[in-house]
Chain A
Amino acid sequence: MNFILLVKEVPDISFINELSWDYKKGVLKRGKIPSCINPSDLKALGFAKELSSRFPGKSAITALSMGPESGRVSLSRLIGMGCSRSVLISDPDFSGSDTYATSYILSEGIRKLRKDISGGKPEYIIISGVNSTDGDTEQVPPQVAQFLDLPLIPCASGITQDNPPGILSLGSSALNITPLLGIPCMITVSDYPYKVYPSFIKLRKSEKTDPVIIWNSDSLGFGKKGNRINLSKTKVIRIYRNENETRRKQIELSSADEIKNIINQEYRNEKKTVDLNMDCFLSEPSDGKNSVWVYAEKRDDSFLLSSRQLISKSKVLASETGTGLTVVCCGASEDMIEYLKSAGSDRVINLYPEPSGLNRDRILSKTIFEIAVKQMPEIFLFPSTPSGRIIASRVACLLKAGLTADCTSLSVVKYKEREKVLVQTRPALGGNIMADIITRKGFLQMATVRGGVFPEKLPLKPVKSSVDHYRIRCDYPDLPVIKDSLIPDELFAEKSELIISIGGGISSLKDLEKYISPFAYSLKTLTGFIPPVAGSRKAVEKGLVGRTFQVGQTGKTVSPKIYIAIGISGAVQHLEGIKGSDIIISVNNDPGAPIIGSSDYYYTGDYKKIIPVLITLFDKKRNEAYA
Chain B
Amino acid sequence: MHEKIDLLIAGGGIAGLSAALKARQINREISIVVIDKSEYPGGANLSGAVFETDCLSEIIPDWNTSSDPYLEKVRNSRIEKESMYFLNSKRQIAIPSFLLPKNLKHKNDSLISVSELCSYLAERCRLQEIGIYYGFSIDNLIIQNNAVKGVRLKESGLSSKGEKMKNHLPGEDVFAGITIIADGSLGCLSRELVSCFSLRKNINPQVYSIGVKQVFRLEKGKECKEKKIINTLGYPCRIKQFGGGFVYFRGDDTVSVGLITALDWPYNDIQPQKEIALYTSHPFIKKLTGSSRAVSSGAKTIPEGGYYSLPVPGAHGALLAGDAGGFVNISKFKGLHLAVKSGAAAGDAAAVILGNKEQNNFDLEIYKNRLEKSGVYSELKKAANFRQVFNYSPGIISGAPLSIIQHLIPFPLKIKPDNKGQKKKSCGKFYPEYPNRELFVSLAGVRHREDQPPHIELIDKSSCEKCRELYSSPCLYFCPGKVYQLEENGKIGLSPSNCLHDYTCTVKCPFNNIRWTVPEGGDGPRYFEM
Hey, which bits of chain A sit against chain B, CB under 8 A? 12, 14-15, 17-20, 23, 32, 34, 46, 49-50, 194-201, 203-205, 207, 537, 547, 550, 553-555, 570-573, 575-576, 594, 597
Contact = CB atoms under 8 A, between A and B. Distances in A.
A573 B498 contact: yes
A196 B119 CA distance: 25
Interface in B492-530: 495, 497-498, 520-521, 526, 528-529
A197 B447 contact: no
A435 to B, nearest CB: 23
A594 B436 contact: yes
A14 B528 contact: no
A547 B174 contact: no
B167 A200 contact: no
Given A50-B166, A573-B498, A594-B436, A19 B131 contact: no
Contacts of A575: 438, 442
Q: Interface size for chain B: under 10, 10 to 19, 20 to 34, or 35 or more residues?
A: 35 or more
Interface string B120-157: 00000000000101011000000000000000010011
B447 A194 contact: no
28 contacts: A14-B526, A15-B528, A17-B528, A18-B217, A18-B293, A18-B295, A23-B220, A32-B529, A50-B166, A194-B157, A194-B167, A195-B157, A197-B156, A197-B167, A200-B153, A200-B174, A201-B174, A204-B133, A553-B442, A554-B448, A554-B450, A555-B450, A570-B438, A572-B439, A572-B442, A572-B498, A594-B438, A597-B436
B169 A199 contact: yes
Given A14-B526, A555-B450, 17 more contacts: A14-B445, A14-B447, A17-B295, A17-B445, A18-B295, A23-B220, A23-B253, A34-B40, A50-B166, A194-B165, A194-B167, A197-B520, A197-B521, A200-B136, A554-B447, A554-B450, A572-B498
A203 B495 contact: no
B450 A196 contact: no
B253 A571 contact: no
Contacts of B135: 198
A445 B349 CA distance: 66
Contacts of B528: 15, 17, 19-20
Contacts of A550: 450
A198 B35 CA distance: 13
A204 B157 contact: no
Interface in B432-449: 434, 436-439, 441-442, 445, 447-449
A15 B254 CA distance: 17
Interface of B: 2-3, 33, 35, 40, 119, 131, 133, 135-136, 153, 156-157, 165-167, 169, 172, 174, 215, 217, 220, 253-254, 293, 295-296, 434, 436-439, 441-442, 445, 447-451, 495, 497-498, 520-521, 526, 528-529
Nearest to A569: B438
A284 B426 CA distance: 76
Contact of B2 (A23, A194, A201, A576): A201
A210 to B, nearest CB: 12
Main DSSP-derived SS at the A contact region: helix
A9 B464 CA distance: 47
A573 B497 contact: yes
Contacts of A570: 438
Contacts of B437: 572
A363 to B, nearest CB: 35
A19 B448 contact: no
Contacts of B445: 14-15, 17
With most chain A CB atoms within 10 A of its CB, the pick from B172, B451, B495 is B451
A18 B295 CA distance: 6
